[in-house]
Amino acid sequence: MNHTNLEPQSSRSESDKDARILRQGRKLFIREFEKQLKELDALLNSLRAVPAVEDLHRFYRIIHTLKGSAPIFGYDRIGRLAEELVRLWEWTQAIDQGQEQILASTNPVQEHAERSFKLLRDLNMEYDIGLTEIQMDEQKDPTGGSMLRTLKSRLLLVDDDEVLRSYLTRRLQLDDCIVDEASDVESAIKLLRTHTYDLVTLDLMMHPQSGYELFEFLKEDPTLKWLPLIVLSGRNDLNDKVRCFHLGADDYVTKPFQYEELAARIYGLLKRTKNFEQLAFRDPLTGVFNRRYFDLQIGMELQRIERYPAPISLVFIDIDYFKRVNDTYGHHVGDLVLQGLAHLLQTNLRSTDLLARFGGEEFVIALPNTSLEQAHSTMQNILHIIRSNPVAQYEGKPFSITFSAGVAEWQQGLSVEEWLAKADEAMYQAKQQGRNRVLCASAEKETDPSKSAALPLPEKRNLLIVDDDPILRAILTSHLEHLPIVITHASDGEEALSLLQEKSYHACILDGMMPRLDGFSLLDQIKKDERSANANMKVLMLSGKKKEDDMLKGYQMGADDYMTKPFSLVELEVRVKKLMNFI
């Protein structure tokens, strides 16, 4: 029995000992590596000036040693770079001492020295990373490294220099950043459409497209235009800097740069951005979300439920006798009570629940995937916790409160305003029944069937989407189908013309560039036929071209609105609503 207990401990001791030996070995390797890099740099400079066989042999011995020793300590990339240098200088092993005349006749040293300096630069970067890893390991401090580690951010590096990109990625990963890389503009755009980033670093001089191409994409996309952007450029040119700042860059760093400086700039930008987000979407007193953020998120949540049906409930909360607290003890105590309640609510809700302060002593909570009964049970438990624990303390005096809450489950066809009103009404009934309780909203009152039948249903309006891109048609349909409209598709101008002859439409989203009768020609035919049922149809033109001439042409031909791709789906929805007289 004792033997079986000791065996794992013995194994762990051996493992710890091996890890300790490896750390010591890595530390000694990096220390020696620094000396070797300095010597390699000096030898290359000497060889470029006056080639000597002795210097060649010494240079070769160092790189050959690195090739074999670096992988032993886990520095595989150093080993691969050294191996590349070994292949480059292998020919020198056929030259003996005193045969400098061979160098003079063939003289490949200059060419190989230039290539070696680039590889030496890469080795220096590897040394920098290795040294940082050792320093952080020695500190044994979770807050070690740069301040950037505290933000846990996701970054996109766009640069066609693979070595620099790899170096920055690994350094930033040591600072607990999630990092994605792109070697060109096209790859960067794909990543930006797939992931959400906190910041982008961008090299200006890239092939085949320059970094300026990405500027246009970022600043025209409404979801990305506020994304922090740092330009990394090898050109210290005033005109470049001015142009970048005019285009929307947040910072400009000239290569070569020190990593520590770049990390500090990234940290400053991210910290400021997060502060702006706090101001925009957080209630400054309690730290929970504000009404503005709630309105934005609840709309998105209902759109998700329409696609993937699931219950969702809303809770309206009002602190009982809050005015008495303010009048008796002062607003500073009232503020402490609000902060305490917000904290207790937040700590007893799920991360997926949405808590917001509506103003004064009112809070609202959205509970996704939660039925009316489940929401009621949740709030009863929270109310019990609130009753049992003071929410604030001032000058040694504890303050306890209760609240009244109304719960309403969302039902198909219910607007956010109606949903809130149901929860608010239930909360008001809780107040009327004595406060300090949670009530559920009553079911919809039954109406007289005859009166119900007499009420005319709102007429759905017809929208025609004409675009040869099936993906864009699907996206537009998905985003607009919640409106009281019937959507019809056409994949080209001729198909659209046929549909327009059979049926009338209130509005049309029309792509300018299509096969088999382009959008401008179709628009011309529609507007020329004044007797047509669609002569007064509202038209929103879409175009991939940003030329003012095309926009002017569209308006002159009778288009009511014009948008260039890519565009904001939110903005497009607003414009469609205006065209169809919904707003």
- Quickly state the pLDDT bin for 447 (edges 50, 70, 90): very low
Report the percent of the chain where pLDDT is more than 70.
87
Return the pLDDT at 99.
62
Return the pLDDT at 531.
75
Helix (H) / strand (E) element for 319: namely strand 312-319
**25 class by beta-carbon count within 10 Å (0-12 exposed, 13-18 middle, 19+ buried):** middle
Return the pLDDT at 375.
95
User: What are the chain's domains?
Assistant: 14-139 (1.20.120.160), 147-281 (3.40.50.2300), 291-440 (3.30.70.270), 461-579 (3.40.50.2300)
Return the pLDDT at 207.
74
Peptide bond into 256 cis (omega under 30): yes
Q: What is the average pLDDT across 443-461?
A: 45
Q: What is the average pLDDT across 56-67?
A: 88
> Could you give phi then psi for residue 159, rounded to 5 degrees?
-160, 135
Radius of gyration of the chain (CA): 34
Return the pLDDT at 515.
81
Tell me the per-residue pLDDT of 152-200, one tens digit each, with 9 for 90 and over. Answer: 889 999 998 888 888 889 889 888 899 999 999 999 998 988 787 889 9
- Quickly state the pLDDT bin for 518 (edges 50, 70, 90): confident
Which conformational region is residue 145 in: left (phi greater than 0), alpha (psi within -120 to 50 degrees), or beta? left
Inform me whether the pLDDT recorded for 356 exceeds 60.
Answer: yes
- Quickly state the pLDDT bin for 374 (edges 50, 70, 90): very high
Distance of CA 443 to the CA centre of its chain: 41
| Cα–Cα distance for residue pair 365/346, rounded to 1 Å | 10
Structure tokens at 243: 């142009």
- First-to-last C-alpha distance (Å) of the chain: 80
Inform me whether the pLDDT recorded for 6 exceeds 50.
Answer: no
Inform me whether the pLDDT recorded for 310 exceeds 80.
Answer: yes
